[in-house]
A and B are shown apart, each in its own frame.
Chain A
Amino acid sequence: MHSRALRYIRYIFAVFFFLLISALFLDFRGLVPADMHRAATWLQFGPSLVQFIHFAGLFSAGFLFIAILTLLFGRVYCSAICPLGIFQDILIRIEKWFRKKKILRYRKPGWWRYVFLGMAVLSLLVGFMALFNLLDPFSNFGRIFSSLGKPLAILINNAAAAISEKSGLAVINRYPIKGFDVATLIFPFLVISLLIFLTWKHGRLFCNFICPVGTVLGLFSRFSLFSISLDKTKCNQCGKCAARCKAGCISIKTQEIDHSRCVMCFDCIGPCPEEGVTFGLSSFKRSSQVATGKKASDSRRKFISSAFLLGLAGRLAARENSGDTFERQTLIPEKKASPVSPPGSRSIEQFISTCIACHECVSACPAQVLQPSLLQYGLQGFMQPHMDYHASFCNFECVVCSEVCPTTAIQPITVEEKKKIQLGKAVFIKDNCVVSTFNTACGACSEHCPTKAVNMVPYLDGLRIPEVNQSICIGCGACEHACPTKPYKAIFVEGNPVHLTAATPKEDIIERNVEEEEWAF
């Protein structure tokens, strides 16, 4: 097939999947229907595999489809379906504007990729997700677009809104950014920096060095039915193909293509003056590739490990320093023994062993209560989302996160089910409360409570003070979020390590016949 046609086919798929997956993470207005999310991520290898391991079913067979696709056509996934792969191609395109023509070079295949693959597999097998999550391309893409892309999209929207209001149209609404925690941005920021560095220096090295999905698909693509081949009889070793090879997998010296690293971009076919590079049925006569790559340089290794450590260290500077010198401060810290995991995740144990920390739910959550964690779940759950009640609270009528989760770490639930799931229990700290410290009315917690588990009961001087009935509390965090005290709240939600079922609030009938009443004034 003509090389240009092959590339256009790749462009069409790449643009489609990139826009589709990006939309899931940038959509701050909730325009993408929640039930479309799972269909859109069905083909994504990482989430699909995790879902298959834990909740096996037809709906999680996307990764099998990709494996078959790779056996047929090589790693087309990496250039046409994987959002992080396409994102790197976009970076490479942008980088071209800023420099002279880049000549890419052949690199010997490295064995480091198998170390990363081994780490990812081990991580999946023992359910210690943090390692897998830091390597998986979908997770990384999600975190970059959710943590950095979405706020940017909101800022652009708000600027547009300001302009539209100036012209008197007021057609665009402004949106807030809640719970913006700089420490959680450090990791995605480091990854995008790494990607810019790697694409600038070495093209798609990430995909052949770090990415466990790329390495796994590389095992299949060695034996793919169709592949790109270099005709030794035509090749004059001019090196034009290798100069365009983003994967650095064409060796001019030996006139070999390392199919385990080829990402099927088809960029090498056109430049060959002898028409010696072709895409077609594989010959199956390849000499086996020798895996004798040299060690990854020390500096690179340091860079990656420091990225990880910085992400953790950033936590220290995380919480906002919101002291109020004019208003009295509360003194008793909220001591949460357990974090709160989202409704539908059933238990923290199940959640942290199945969540790939892609932050699709973080982007989709209309309340913005789901926020990336740092060490709330422990090292194992690094970056997995938790319910951040300082940022917001969980909408009583909403199950969006359970509809969008690509691994079903947050399992589908109905709104009626959700209203009964107890994520945690409200705990009242009387000595922080406005009512007991100032003797003035408050009750913001009780106002927001959807079940009146937090109720106002008589207190001194005709005042009323909160009282918690934990049996009907669902742990939505509305009370904690609404509580106005600083820096510590007077009411907070203690997470349930295993989600429980809340009791139903009582409903007495009100006896009153208004029609028989006279005017009261």
Chain B
Amino acid sequence: MKRRDFIAGAAAAGLIGTGRFAFGNIEQFAPSAPVLPYDLVAVRGGEPEVMFDKAIQSLGGMKAFVKKGQKVVVKPNIGWDSSPERAADTNPNLVKRIVKACYEAGAKQVYVFDNTCDNWTNCYKNSGIEKAVKDAGGTMVGGNSKSYYHQVNIPRGKRLKQAEVHELILDSDVFINVPILKHHSSSDLTIAMKNLMGVVWDRGYWHRNDLNQCIADFATWRKPTLNIVDAYRVMLRNGPKGVSASDVITMKQLLISTDIVAIDAAATKIWDPKKDPAKVKHIALANELKAGNMNLAQLRINRIKL
């Protein structure tokens, strides 16, 4: 974001009020209050698509989240020009199954994008996600140009008060966040909350202004309809890009939750059973801001072993 644009935007927002720049409010993506049987579903021991099917079934199927004729945006991690074996990007088979499930539930159109770190066309192609999405009938959209992004206010943010967010996130009825669990050199781990950094344009602003606080702040903006964590292959070091296949081990696990903080806490335990989620700074901060609940003991968890 250019400073001048930022100031101009901020000034305009101040003059006109929040109406013009705020595209809706935090609850928009929350499902129309379906009473879910569980707060979190954890599955292990299967292929990504099989684990997803089991998990979503136990929450009442995709129909509980996607209604007929709705526009859906799926946001995997496609940040790196890397093959699926390197586990830098979300598993393409999982993304494919999710897109299919959305259509089966009656979605009108399913879009997939990421604001990538490496060259975007290479990321889309080499991650296998572009092909997977096309095969499932979905549409890949670029996230590489500033003109896709529009400014929003983050009223509950401490350091991050405004951000430019991809128009697909602003326009869609349903937002499915599909991160992959990885080690991360900046934020310790990257899971569901950190994955949302890929829907904004100016990441440098976050890095300059207390990265962990900004990650937590953005989690207060809008709850994704669903978070699905891919922990089939997990990068345990040298993240988020990885140096070689030796950084990765196969874990065959998957998490689903509507609570973005809870799912990050649970994924932290998968990454290292001895690690306290409160020690991952952005998780603790988001918990403090009440973007979700990191206390796993208070949650209704469905554990499925295949």
Contact = CB atoms under 8 A, between A and B. Distances in A.
Do A and B bind? yes
Does more than half of chain B's interface fall in helix, strand or loop, or is it mixed? Answer: mixed
Contacts of B270: 520
B70 interface: no
B185 A367 contact: no
Contacts of A4: none
A397 B122 contact: yes
A395 B204 contact: no
Interface string A350-381: 00000000000000001100000000000000
Contacts of B205: 484
A398 B142 CA distance: 20
Contacts, number: 137
Contacts of B238: 452
A448 interface: yes
B210 A174 contact: no
Contact of A450 (B119, B211, B241, B246): B241
A150 to B, nearest CB: 15
A173 B210 contact: no
Interface stretch (B13-21, B49-57, B145-153, B218-226): B145-153
Contacts of A482: 117
Contact of A327 (B208, B241, B250): B208
Contacts of A396: 81, 118
B73 to A, nearest CB: 12
A363 B252 CA distance: 43
Contacts of B42: 519, 521
A471 interface: no
B205 to A, nearest CB: 7
Contacts of A515: 45
A440 B145 contact: no
Given A450-B243, A464-B185, A521-B301, A176 B146 contact: yes
A509 B3 contact: no
Nearest to A327: B208
B144 A175 contact: yes
Interface string A161-175: 010000000100111
B240 interface: yes
A325 interface: yes
B269 A521 contact: yes
B185 A455 contact: yes
B97 interface: no
Contact of B126 (A173, A397, A448): A397
B209 A367 contact: no
Contacts of A485: 208
A447 interface: yes
B244 interface: yes
A390 B186 CA distance: 21
B243 A434 contact: no
Contacts of A440: 209-213
B3 A170 contact: no
B266 interface: yes
Interface in A451-466: 451-452, 455-456, 462, 464
B251 A514 contact: yes
Interface string A380-415: 000000000000000111100000000000000000
Nearest to A514: B251
Interface string B162-206: 000000000000000000000011110000000000000001110
Interface in B64-110: 81
A173 B142 contact: yes
B71 to A, nearest CB: 10
A514 B249 contact: yes
A102 B172 CA distance: 59
Interface in A415-456: 434, 438, 440-444, 446-452, 455-456
A438 B159 CA distance: 13
A126 interface: no
A298 interface: no
Contacts of A448: 117, 241
A515 B46 CA distance: 11
A174 B246 contact: no
Nearest to A519: B303
8 contacts: A170-B111, A438-B208, A441-B212, A443-B211, A447-B184, A455-B185, A485-B208, A514-B250
Given A175-B144, A324-B3, 13 more contacts: A175-B145, A326-B3, A366-B121, A395-B81, A440-B210, A443-B187, A446-B186, A464-B185, A507-B246, A510-B247, A512-B236, A514-B252, A521-B269
Can you list the 8 inter-chain pairs with the closest CB atoms, starting with the nearest? A443-B186, A484-B204, A520-B273, A520-B269, A174-B145, A446-B185, A484-B207, A173-B142
